Amino acid sequence: MKKLLIATKNQGKIKEIKKELTDFAMDIVGLENVNLPEDSAVQEPAITMEGNAIIKAMTYGNKTGLLTLAEDAGLEVDALNGRPGVLSARYASGTDKDRYLKLLREMQAVSDKKRGAQFRSVIAIYDPESEKIRTCEGIYRGKIIQTPKGKQGFGYDPIFLNENLGKTNAQMTAEEKNSVSHRGKALKNAKEILKKEFKQ
């Protein structure tokens, strides 16, 4: 069975990606399952999510020789001109909570009607044998609430409200989140690309 490397050490992302690809006929492994040199951490120097996803997919694919899926995602807030965007994971030092509390402080004066935001996920798939690379994305609209709610998920999930469901991402089950989220949408697109273009 062909292996598919998920190029991340973020356990929350790995869990979501594996759940979406469970019916896929591939042996799905994470970075913790492959032998990599100690200095193999990949920087994310690009100014776009697409750039970072491509860099990660190609770097880890070439290091391991495995078909590799890499993702970069971020929160884009309308009132902050798209910030934190590509810097979402590095928006403040410390924990996920430190990052979303910084965002809430920056939005203290923003009215309820202007708190629109979206999560965007970009996936890159790279095959080192053929040197083929493909990308796709998923977008998930919602709004930033003023007070964190929920214990599930990770990142900015406690402050991102799905208005249709009336829940934050952090109040959803994994199944609910994957059915509506940016990563879930991008993974559905990635599955089609894997079937059509990377089938062995």
User: What's the CATH number where 50 sits?
Assistant: 3.90.950.10
Q: What is the mean pLDDT of residues 78-106?
A: 95
* CA separation, residue 13 to residues 45, 70, 116, 167 (Å): 20, 10, 24, 20
Look up 96 and say whether it is catalytic. no
Q: What is the mean pLDDT of residues 72-97?
A: 94
Evaluate if residue 194 carries a pLDDT over 70.
yes
How would you label 65-85 residue by residue, b for 16+ Cβ within 10 Å and e otherwise? ebbbbbbbbbbbbebbeebbb
Enter the tokens of residue 44: 């994310």
Q: What is the mean pLDDT of residues 19-27?
A: 77
Evaluate if residue 1 carries a pLDDT over 90.
no
Domain with 7 in it: 3-197
Enter the tokens of residue 58: 């190609």
Q: Quick one: residue 84, left, alpha or beta (phi over 0 = left, psi -120 to 50 = alpha)?
A: alpha
pLDDT, residue 200, reads: 54
The whole-angstrom separation of Cα 181 and Cα 31 is 23
Count of structural domains within the chain: 1
**Which listed residue (23, 27, 39, 72) is catalytic?**
72
Q: What is the pLDDT of residues 95-141, one digit of tens each?
A: 999 999 999 999 999 999 999 999 999 999 999 999 999 999 999 99
Q: How many residues does the chain have?
A: 200
The whole-angstrom separation of Cα 166 and Cα 66 is 41
